[in-house]
Structure 1
Amino acid sequence: MVPTATPENGHYEIGFFLVPGFSQLAFSSALEPFRMANHLTDRRLYTWHLVSRDGAPVSASSGLQTGVDHAMEKAPPLDLVVVCAGVEVQHHCDRGTLRWLRRLAARHTPLGAVCTGSYVLAQAGVLNGYRCTLHWEHFSSIHEALMFPEVTFTSQLFVMDRDRYTCSGGISPLDMMLTLITRQQGLELAEAIAEEFIHERIRDVGDHQRNPLRVRLGHSHPKLEEVATLMEANLQEPLSLNELASYADLSRRQLERLFQRYVDCPPLKYYMDLRLMRARLLLRQTHMPITDVALACGFISPPHFTKCYHDRFGHSPSRERKRRSDRVADAATQHAEAAPPPGEE
């Protein structure tokens, strides 16, 4: 289902719901294609409205504040509402916001999300029975905590499942909105917009998010990608170097030479880094006990986990968890200070 233009005015009313800590890049990448569509056609195909929970300006993850047009309860009828989120999204799923999203879904308003906005939609229960995606950094925390069992999360760049449109963040909203514009206005206009933005290819729903090894190499190497994929799929119960080599139809020595040549580090060091990076995400994004984080990342001994973590990041897992708590407390203080005094809303 694609939002349909109203017969009276022939254009779409798009709402962007800004969640504190939202990604300015993802938000701009979602909005700008609509602006350019209007500019290139010299027609008002799209009108957009910025919405926040209480109508107050919202701070992005960069600290920049963005003014809005409406409080959520006073927003006009919209053909699509896009939730724009970012850091610490789990702390901004208040009951009022979730009720509002449920009411929109009950009225069959199409809903979208950029970056971590899918987390908010999932908390509201409006993604149950849908496929969706969100930024790759949050996959581990959702899977480890067994959250949202009725939602199917994918690693795709963006997903358009009936009347739900979700994407991973960064500049991926540009591709999702260009695909939406293609469906609504035609491929010629979408390609013209992409050309204006010097965006050489409109990525589609078949594209996937990061391949960390490919990013580091700057090109594709099939055997290395195969081994890296095996590593990422076996973080809780790490495979031995011999097992990795055997699965990839390589000798152990061949595997070591490939990593040394293309990645400039031994394969087990690369594997350890993957496990520790996942541990850091879990420490930052979940309330899992540190011992459980260690086990989820393949460390049987907590002291060994603490030593490896300190060697990699320069501080202990408990210090990482405290840093997260401090950030949450600071964000809550800033939000309270920015809120208008009672009676002045």
Structure 2
Amino acid sequence: MTLVADSSIEHFGFFLVPGFSMISLAAVVDPLRMANRISDKELYTWDFYCHHDETITASNGLPFSPSRKQNDIRDLDTLFVVAGIDAHQANDASLLSWLRSLKQQKINLGSTSTGSLLLAKAGILKNQRCTIHWENQDSLSEQFPDLQVTGELYEIDRDVMTCSGGLAGLDLMLQLISLKHGESLAKDVAEQCIHPAIRPAYDKQRMDLQLRHHAHHPRLLKALELMRSNIEEVLTCQEIGDLVGLSVRQMERLFKSFLSTTPANHYLQLRLERAHHLVLQSNLSMMQISTACGFSSTSYFSRCYRKQYHCSPREERLSTHT
């Protein structure tokens, strides 16, 4: 992205999708406010947009009203789509057309969390590197196989910015502040946020496995990583053991000691968790989800899913749409 290196005020718009994540919004708005206060200058201004100019509700139940009408884009430099877990249901053709029109008018576009899905549906992410919340990486890649979906905290590719959500939005905005107004101001804003280390884009979205599982055995950690990264093409316990240098019996003892489960059960849980995310956060068919999560048939997938979540995947999806 090419940023104008002058002192003019930069105007941001934040398009709020119903059910958007409050932490994602705060992470991209508050750094702008702090930059203004610390510099004692109006470097940034911003407005909130909502589809059809209607009041919408965030995921935590708080209502938000637009501060500008959707057709008012005067002096708008950048628009961020701020979304949450229901972004896949925001499939309004007029919204996608509006986003494309902003692109055509040379307005920079960005997204936080699942907002990347709407940019993809609008055709804005074609031939661009992009990222999204880790829960949605697989569903985005499945629905748009031609996209260059990464696991980065954020991506800046020419005039399009995508962010994985949560506090990653803070790191993205600090980077933008640094590029336009200098590293010193960005660090001052970070300190105000009690954010002592500005994370680079390539930092991890997810917690390290050894912290998550309180496990420090290197071969166990390697086995866990192999399971996490091989969901569609499922490895056998023997194959995992061979790759990490453990017998199946040794691996079973380690899993029982550190995770209180068996390798097979832990692997199944990982696959079901991913399936759960795809059921709730994508429009993929049950057959596509079953295949993407390494199940040999949709009937076996449905049985495992019901045992874990006490309903079938179809029932779960229907319940979220009523």
Task: Give the alignment's TM-score, normalised by structure 2.
Answer: 0.92
CA distance in 2, matches of 1:205, 1:220: 26
Paired residue secondary structure (2:81): strand
From 174, 180, 184, the equivalent of 1:178 is: 174
Gaps of 5+ in 2: none
From 247, 255, 261, the equivalent of 1:259 is: 255
1:268 matched residue in structure 2: 264
Count of aligned pairs: 322
From 172, 180, 183, the equivalent of 1:187 is: 183
Deviation of 1:113 (Å):
0.5
Aligned residues of 2:15 and 2:49 also touching (Cα < 8 A):
yes
Identify if the C-alpha distance between structure 1 residues 222 and 14 changes in structure 2 by more than 3 Å, giving closer, same or farther.
Answer: farther
Gaps of 5+ in 1: 327-345
1:29 matched residue in structure 2: 27
CA distance in 1, matches of 2:54, 2:282: 29
Paired residue secondary structure (1:82): strand
Deviation of 1:221 (Å):
5.5
Deviation of 1:161 (Å):
1.2
1:335 matched residue in structure 2: none
Aligned residues of 2:96 and 2:122 also touching (Cα < 8 A):
yes
2:296 matched residue in structure 1: 300
Aligned residues of 2:3 and 2:179 also touching (Cα < 8 A):
no
Aligned residues of 2:16 and 2:49 also touching (Cα < 8 A):
yes
Identify if the C-alpha distance between structure 1 residues 212 and 304 changes in structure 2 by more than 3 Å, giving closer, same or farther.
Answer: farther
CA distance in 1, matches of 2:29, 2:13: 10
1:68 matched residue in structure 2: 66
Aligned residues of 1:3 and 1:110 also touching (Cα < 8 A):
no
CA distance in 1, matches of 2:82, 2:4: 22
Paired residue secondary structure (2:156): strand
Write out per-residue CA displacement over residues 29-60 of structure 1, whole angstroms, 9 at most, x where no aligned residue: 11000001111111111111111222222211
Which stretch shows the higher mean deviation, 165-174 or 99-108?
99-108
- Percent of aligned pairs sharing the same letter: 39
CA distance in 2, matches of 1:150, 1:296: 16
Aligned residues of 1:30 and 1:174 also touching (Cα < 8 A):
yes
Write out per-residue CA displacement over residues 135-193 of structure 1, whole angstroms, 9 at most, x where no aligned residue: 1111222233xx33442111111111121111111111011101111111111111111
- What RMSD, in angstroms, separates the aligned Cα atoms of the two structures? 2.1
The one-letter code sitting in structure 2 at the alignment partner of 1:227 is A
CA distance in 2, matches of 1:246, 1:179: 43
From 174, 191, 197, the equivalent of 2:193 is: 197
Paired residue secondary structure (1:166): strand
Paired residue secondary structure (1:16): strand
Paired residue secondary structure (1:319): helix
Aligned residues of 1:80 and 1:110 also touching (Cα < 8 A):
yes
Identify if the C-alpha distance between structure 1 residues 212 and 290 changes in structure 2 by more than 3 Å, giving closer, same or farther.
Answer: farther
CA distance in 1, matches of 2:71, 2:5: 23
Aligned residues of 2:85 and 2:281 also touching (Cα < 8 A):
no
Aligned residues of 2:49 and 2:70 also touching (Cα < 8 A):
yes
CA distance in 1, matches of 2:73, 2:91: 19
Aligned residues of 1:259 and 1:265 also touching (Cα < 8 A):
yes
Which stretch shows the higher mean deviation, 247-256 or 177-186?
247-256
Within-5 A mapping of 1:155-234: 155-211=151-207, 213-217=209-213, 222-234=218-230
CA distance in 2, matches of 1:250, 1:178: 44
Aligned residues of 2:141 and 2:147 also touching (Cα < 8 A):
no
1:126 matched residue in structure 2: 124
The one-letter code sitting in structure 1 at the alignment partner of 2:275 is A
Aligned residues of 1:79 and 1:110 also touching (Cα < 8 A):
yes
1:109 matched residue in structure 2: 107
Which stretch shows the higher mean deviation, 225-234 or 171-180?
225-234
Aligned residues of 1:175 and 1:203 also touching (Cα < 8 A):
yes
